[in-house]
Amino acid sequence: MKQTGFSSELFRGQTIVVTGAGRGIGFCVANAFAEHGASVIVHSGRSRSAEKFADTGIEAIEADFTKGAETQGFIDTVLSKTRSIDVLVNNAGTMHGRFPAGDLTDAQYDDLVTLNQTSVVMVCRGLLPKLRSAENASIINTVSISARTGGSPGSSIYSATKAFVATYTKALARELAPQGIRANAVSPGTIDTDFHSRYSSQEKLENTRKSIPLQRLGTPEDCAPAYLFLASNALSGYITGQVLEINGGQLML
Ligand SMILES: NC(=O)c1ccc[n+]([C@@H]2O[C@H](COP(=O)([O-])OP(=O)(O)OC[C@H]3O[C@@H](n4cnc5c(N)ncnc54)[C@H](OP(=O)(O)O)[C@@H]3O)[C@@H](O)[C@H]2O)c1
């Protein structure tokens, strides 16, 4: 399946790591990089989705990022597999459920923060030596429109973790610029993936759709080109510390 409608050699010879790539946006992004010549290492998520990549030459590694030991295991596996990393895409994340502020349990809070926030910090820290070994490396973190809007009811901690990652991305961009590493974020709006089939009713999605200037929900294929753009030094070599909003006009800044 074509993810971007065309193929190229833009990332030929480059090693790209994508987390949360067993489905949804990450799956599309990982395949799009492969379509454009990259050698891709994916973190597929918790589920056994490695078989999805069986025919593609993409290597899939499973790990539950709510568990620090499994996140560290993923990092160690990647470190053992490659000499350098040109692009790291931190995309694994979810909402886990809708938790009203007064009902949120400690366990729900911990899981959300550990997955959406701590795992991004761990993976960046752990893979940084391999990014330093590449020329013009780049980090791209998936955040969310909710980092700016606060999201919808029951998503306060999820939204706050995405705001953390947006700010962390800017801080990384400043700190790593002298080392030739760029850091940017992609911020999806309402993208039609399993994410929303779990956490949003059809009625809520239809109301959202009507409020979007482009009058449709987004797709993973709408998002993937933004990652390719931010990953390519040829296309975006002077862009760092930015959050690219992909939302059909749902939020205009
Ligand atoms: N869809 C949207 O409208 C939207 C909007 C803004 C931001 N985002 C963000 O975009 C990213 C991708 O979302 P998506 O829409 O593609 O959702 P998705 O289809 O649910 O995919 C999420 C990915 O993250 C992985 N993941 C979830 N929980 C995990 C855990 N505990 N450990 C390791 N991996 C885990 C999933 O793997 P398994 O579940 O198989 O473990 C899957 O590969 C997420 O960071 C999400 O927050 C999405």
Cite the active site residues.
Answer: 158
Regarding the beta carbon of 65 and ligand 1, being less than 6 Å apart is answered: yes
Mean pLDDT of the region 52-65: 89
Q: Is 36 in the pocket of ligand 1 (CB under 6 A)?
A: no
Does 50 have pLDDT greater than 80?
no
64 lines ligand 1 (CB under 6 A): yes
Tokens of 100: 């009203």
Q: Mean pLDDT of all residues in the chain? A: 96
- Binding site membership of 23 for ligand 1 (Cβ less than 6 Å): yes
Say if CB 31 and CB 6 are below 8 A apart: no
Give the residue, 2 or 34, on which the prediction is more confident.
34
DSSP string across 178-238: GGT-EEEEEEE-SB-SHHHHHHS-HHHHHHHHHHSTTSS-B-HHHHHHHHHHHH-HHHHTT
Q: What is the CATH class of 15-246?
A: alpha beta
Domain boundaries in the chain? 15-246
Query: What pLDDT shows up at residue 17?
Result: 98
The three-state secondary structure class of 251 is coil
Centre of ligand 1 to C-alpha 78, Å, is 20
The residue nearest atom 38 of ligand 1, judged by CA position, is 45
Residue of the nearest CA to atom 23 in ligand 1?
20
- Does 92 contact ligand 1 (Cβ within 6 A)? yes
Q: Which atom of ligand 1 is nearest to the CA of 44?
A: 43
pLDDT at 5: 83
Does pTM surpass 0.75? yes
Query: What percent of the chain clears pLDDT 70, i.e. is strictly above it?
Result: 98
pLDDT digits (tens, 9 = 90+) for 86-133: 999 999 999 999 999 999 999 999 999 999 999 999 999 999 999 999
Q: Which of 229, 251, 238 is nearest to 36 (CA)?
A: 229
Q: Mutate which of 71, 94, 245 to test ligand 1's pocket (most atoms within 8 Å of Cβ)?
A: 94
The tokens describing 48, both together, are: 């056994």
> CA–CA separation, 96 vs 85, rounded Å?
30
The closest-lying atom of ligand 1 relative to the alpha carbon of residue 47 is 40
Q: State pLDDT tens for residues 155-200.
A: 999 999 999 999 999 999 999 999 999 999 999 999 999 999 899 9
What Rg do the C-alpha atoms of the chain give, in angstroms?
17
What is the pLDDT, as a whole number, of residue 48? 67
Q: 107 vs 4, which has greater pLDDT?
A: 107
Nearest one of 46, 1, 23, 3 to 194, comparing CA atoms: 23
Residue 6 in this model has a pLDDT that exceeds 90: no
C-alpha separations of 51 from 35, 54, 59, 62, 82 in Å: 18, 5, 10, 11, 21
